[in-house]
Amino acid sequence: MTEKRSLLKAETLAELLSVSKRTVWRWKSAGKLPKPVTIGASVRWRQEDINQWIASDCPNLRMFEAREEGMR
């Protein structure tokens, strides 16, 4: 069975985190969210990255990436 990989828009991510869309963009700029995927002018976040980030108690980007590298 293959797992469906989802990409989230800023609006969907904002709803998931119970914050405003503007807050999502601020957190992205401040390095508080996992790095998004850019496709042309579109910005999306991988659902699996967001799930791992939430499970890790929402660390800042540097800490999150360090944990991810340690798991590889």
Q: Which one, of 42, 43, 71, lies nearest residue 55 by Cα? A: 71
CB-based contacts of 51, cutoff 8 Å, min separation 6: none
pLDDT band at 1 (very low <50, low <70, confident <90, very high): very low
pLDDT digits (tens, 9 = 90+) for 14-33: 999 999 999 999 999 999 99
Say if 1 falls within a structural domain.
Answer: no
Q: Domains in the chain: how many in total?
A: 1
Check residue 71 and report its DSSP letter.
Answer: H
Task: Residue 50: give its domain's CATH number.
Answer: 1.10.1660
pLDDT digits (tens, 9 = 90+) for 39-69: 999 999 999 999 999 999 988 888 888 877 7
Say if 13 falls within a structural domain.
Answer: yes
- pTM of structure: 0.82
Q: Residue 63 belongs to what domain range?
A: 7-71
Say if 30 falls within a structural domain.
Answer: yes
